[in-house]
Structure 1
């Protein structure tokens, strides 16, 4: 890949990772358009480190307070337990399905575009639901609800579904307001994305070349910069505007993609 292509992909990763639009689909479809790819599809996973660090940077204060309160606050301990419980399904399913995800699902633009369209319709429908939320504070989400959100997150192993989209939608349907749902998605992203990064690095480090490493570092930096911007503003945006914007965006990108596929094939 050329330097500009690496930077572009890193910017896309940071911009889309925490939005309910599927960063993986955006990355893979952009690569398809540019005619580039990475060894073992590792670049696309490892540049997530930039987005992870962006989230940790913005949430450093909250994480510090959680760490301080953990020994003395039952509410804090329940919340940490809930996040870990929600993370567990991704551990087992991700390890078992890793090969299928990378070798089959990552190679199908049709699956990605179809998932984008279906997810867009779901976001538009969920955004129109009128309900009285049961959870307006992320610390109040019980572990049973968190576990269901964790299973919903696993749907995002299909590129185009969106990790943040599946967790936000499931949390809203289970009674969280949109801001709380998005914030729980942030906290769940921390172990999930870190685990995906570590496992993919473990599986593929032997095939990485010096050029691959330099590309990953550059993509990581670009993803970090745009990731910080998104994390700082996403909760307020969703609180004010809801999910419809992302639903329409998914329909646009997925619809264009399906049209191109139909013409070319």
Structure 2
């Protein structure tokens, strides 16, 4: 199989899974292993295509980001409406944990076995959150409090474990903290852009020696594939999240873990 076909496949996988509660990083590690697309250059490629998925959310939510930016520039903060403070306090916990434990995370958790465990443990958390009888106090993102935003940020730290899923952990956290599933999903998408953009740029800088002109076409193909598919996936997921409980996604994670265990172990 040519590297170009592998780039398209991985771009599609990234776009489909980045914003679903099924772990895109886990999928990329497992699929990359199956395709024999591994190594430093492959790792850098996976970082680049994540940026494609980030751009898809930025395009879809550009009006909300412009509103948040206007409020930020005008210093118009209020707990009654989603603003930059919600985003900052939701992002800080994962950022701090990553900076402290980044070496451990990359050396120990970025492997097929750790991913399979993350898929299962994350699925259990999603089932617990879905079945928890917590009173909903935030039906939409504008009703999310600073306390809830910070709590969701703490749950986002779990996403540093590949296989756990950023959207899965944050949506689960939102449900356990009193937000509706739709509000938690929207908030997850909104905070994903600065979180993923910052992480991607940092990782790209650290991997700059593997960003060569020879791989430019390959990276571009993966980037475009991830961007287009992510646009479709986000809109589809927002419709699904209104009807499907997290247990359905948890069941998928368990099946995926079993299938990959059979092929990889």
TM-score by length of 1: 0.91
Partner Cα distance (1:56, 1:85) in 2: 20
Q: Quote the offset at 1:244 in angstroms.
A: 2.1
2:227 corresponding residue in structure 1: 224
Count of aligned pairs between the two proteins: 261
Alpha-carbon shift at residue 69 of structure 1 (Å): 4.7
Cα separation, 2, equivalents of 1:58 and 1:253:
29
Distance 1:211 1:93 in 2: 35
CA contact (8 A) 1:46 1:200 kept: no
Q: Secondary structure at the match of 1:133?
A: coil
Task: Output aligned runs, 1:33-72, within 5 Å.
Answer: 33-39=34-40, 41-70=43-72, 71=74, 72=76
- Which of 88, 102, 107 is the equivalent residue of 1:84? 88
Q: Mark the runs of 5 or more structure 1 residues left unpaired by the alignment.
A: none
Q: Does 1:23 align with 2:27?
A: no
Q: Which moved more, 1:18-27 or 1:149-158?
A: 149-158
Match of 2:216 in 1: 213
CA RMSD of aligned residues (A): 1.9
Q: Note if contact 1:69-1:76 (Cα within 8 Å) is conserved in structure 2.
A: no
CA offset at residue 246 of structure 1?
0.9
**1-structure distance, mates of 2:124, 2:94:** 25
Distance 1:155 1:206, change over 3 A: same
Secondary structure of 2:150's counterpart equals: helix
Report the Cα distance in structure 2 between the residues aligned to 1:98 and 1:73, rounded to whole angstroms.
33
Q: Provide closer, same or farther for how the CA distance between residues 76 and 203 of structure 1 changes in structure 2, counting only shifts above 3 A.
A: farther
Task: Name the residue aligned to 1:10.
Answer: 11
Task: State the 1:77 CA deviation.
Answer: 7.0
- In the alignment, the residues of structure 2 paired with residue 76 and residue 95 of structure 1 have an alpha-carbon distance, to the nearest angstrom, of 32
| Deviation (angstroms), 1:48 | 0.9
The runs of 5 or more residues in structure 2 that have no matched partner are none
Q: Is the contact between residue 133 and residue 175 of structure 1 (CA under 8 Å) also seen in structure 2?
A: yes
Q: Verify: 1:245 aligned to 2:240, yes or no.
A: no
CA distance in 1, matches of 2:79, 2:36: 50
Alignment match, 2:181: 178
Please say if residues 117 and 255 of structure 1, whose CA atoms lie closer than 8 Å, have aligned partners that are also in contact: no
Partners of 2:162 and 2:71 in 1: CA distance: 37
